[in-house]
Amino acid sequence: MTLTACGIRPTPILTGAEAPTVSSHSLTIYLVTAGRDGLVRRTRDHTGTVDITTAMNLLLAGPNDEEKKLGLVTELPATSSKAIPVLDVIVMPEDVAPPTTKWGAFQVHCTALASRAKVAGVAPVSDEYCP
């Protein structure tokens, strides 16, 4: 048996850049029903880095187009400011006053509970209000 080569010289191992990766996570936020008589659990996909404030910042951004079509609302003031994490507590932006309505407080509490966080300035409420 005879072996032959194709004439290509051996080369060292060529390394390339890191393979691209995409991280997609599901986050839970709570919005108020159109009748303002309860909360609705909404799951949103989020691509990228997720920390304990991501869900709260999605809540602060308000309902997306699909949720608006469903009549869902928020009882939190609209803001483009972001919440920030301090240890295991979420600090809301300065331009966002603590919720003054029952459903607004429940939105914040239930969204924080779903992301296993605490929110500064919002008293805990019974989990029975988090659907």
The domain spans of the chain are 24-125
Q: Which residue has the higher pLDDT, 21 or 15?
A: 15
Distance CA(66)–CA(86), nearest Å, equals 32
Going by C-beta distance under 8 Å and a sequence separation of 6 or more, which residues neighbour residue 119?
A: 56, 89, 90, 92, 108, 109, 112
| pLDDT at 33 (0 to 100) | 94
| pLDDT above 90 (res 127) | no
> CA 9 to CA 95: how far, in whole Å?
66
> Residue range 71-75: average pLDDT?
95
State which H helix or E strand residue 113 sits in: helix 102-114
* Contact by Cβ (8 Å): 131, 39: yes
| Res. 10: pLDDT tops 70 | no
Mind listing the pLDDT tens digit for each residue in 21-72? 445 578 889 999 999 999 999 988 877 766 668 888 899 999 999 999 999 9
CA distances from 122 to 43, 56, 118, 126 (A): 22, 13, 8, 13
CA distance 86 to 120: 10
Tokens of 45: 């996909």
Give the torsion through C-alpha atoms of 69, 114, 85, 36, to 10 deg. Answer: 40
- Total-model pTM: 0.71
